[in-house]
Amino acid sequence: MTVMEMQPGEIGSLSARIYNKVREGLIVGNFAPGERLLMQDLAEQLGTSVTPVREACLRLVSEQALELRSGRFVSVPGLSRSRYLQIKLIRMALEGLAAELAAENVTKPEIDQLAGFHSAFVASEKAGDFGAARAANRSFHFGVYRLSKMPMLIGQIESMWVSMGPILNVYYREIPHEYVGAEEHDHILDALRSGNKAKAREGVENDIKRAATSLLRYFEERQLA
What are the pLDDT tens digits along the chain (225 aa)?
A: 555 555 444 445 899 999 999 999 999 889 999 999 999 999 999 899 999 999 999 999 999 999 998 889 999 999 999 999 999 999 999 999 999 999 999 999 999 999 999 999 999 988 989 889 888 999 999 999 999 999 999 999 999 999 999 998 898 888 887 776 689 999 999 999 999 999 999 999 999 999 899 999 999 999 888
Structural domain including 122 reads 81-221
- In whole angstroms, give the CA distance from residue 25 to residue 34: 15
- In whole angstroms, give the CA distance from residue 29 to residue 160: 13
Residue where one domain finishes, among candidates 75, 90, 109: 75
Q: How many domains is the chain built from?
A: 2
Centroid of chain to Cα 109: 25
Q: What is the DSSP string of 105-150?
A: H--HHHHHHHHHHHHHHHHHHHHT-HHHHHHHHHHHHHHHHHTT--
- In whole angstroms, give the CA distance from residue 84 to residue 154: 20
Angle at 82 between CA 27 and CA 20, to 5 degrees: 20
Which CATH number does the domain housing residue 215 bear?
Answer: 1.20.120.530
Q: Clarify whether residues 147 and 109 are in a common domain.
A: yes
Q: Residue 15 corresponds to which amino acid? A: S
Whole-Å CA distances, 143 to 60, 79, 118: 24, 28, 10
pTM of the predicted model as reported, rounded to 2 decimal places: 0.88
Q: Clarify whether residues 120 and 217 are in a common domain.
A: yes
